């Protein structure tokens, strides 16, 4: 079974803090994704990576950056957290093309005060 893990299930941070969310997959997947999910808005893509050190912006990259130094690990960074970044953050991976099944991590619920 593919396993995608995320570093925290719940996180509370203060406005202006730098926040790191980590995602690790154990199946040698090429592609990794970061989404946020908010009520009524569905899943929105923040960034994705199709290879080590490669990244591309999704629909809502503002206020976020990412890092993929190793194939299995994809980190999402909130440089200076703001209250409007309170959300559920989901990491996903796919083996090859995005025509394939996405495997999601359990999600991180981030609250920014």
Partner 1 sequence: RKEVEQDPGPFNVPEGATVAFNCTYSNSASQSFFWYRQDCRKEPKLLMSVYSSGNEDGRFTAQLNRASQYISLLIRDSKLSDSATYLCVVGASGGSYIPTFGRGTSLIVHP
- Nearer CB in complex with partner 1: 27/98: 98
Rounded to whole angstroms, how far apart are CA atoms 72 and 105?
13
Count, residues near partner 1 per rule CB under 8 A? 24
Smallest separation, CB 112 to partner 1 (Å): 19
Relative to beta strand 87-94, strand 64-70 is unpaired
> Which position has the token pair 């996405």?
102
Q: Looking at 19, 25, 29, 31, which residue binds partner 1 (CB under 8 A)?
A: 31
> Which position has the token pair 């996903």?
92
Relative to beta strand 108-112, strand 54-57 is unpaired
Q: Looking at 8, 13, 43, 77, which residue binds partner 1 (CB under 8 A)?
A: 43
Task: DSSP letter for 101, please.
Answer: P
Smallest separation, CB 98 to partner 1 (Å): 4
Name residues contacting partner 1, limited to 60-89 (CB under 8 A): none
101: contact with partner 1 by CB under 8 A: yes
Report which of 47, 55, 54 is spatially closest to residue 91, judged by C-alpha positions: 47
Binding site for partner 1 (CB under 8 A): 31, 33, 40-43, 45, 48, 50, 56, 58, 90, 94, 97-102, 104-107, 109
């Amino acid at each position: 079974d593919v396993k995608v893990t995320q570093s925290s299930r719940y996180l509370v941070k203060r406005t202006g803090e730098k926040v790191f969310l980590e995602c690790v997959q154990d199946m040698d997947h090429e592609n990794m994704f970061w989404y946020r999910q908010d009520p009524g808005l569905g899943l929105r893509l923040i960034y994705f990576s199709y290879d080590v050190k490669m990244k591309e912006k999704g629909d809502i990259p503002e206020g976020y950056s990412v890092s993929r130094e190793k194939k299995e690990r994809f980190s999402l960074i909130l440089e200076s957290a703001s209250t409007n970044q309170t959300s559920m953050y989901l990491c996903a991976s796919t083996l090859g093309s995005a025509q394939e099944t996405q495997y999601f991590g359990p999600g991180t619920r981030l609250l920014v005060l």
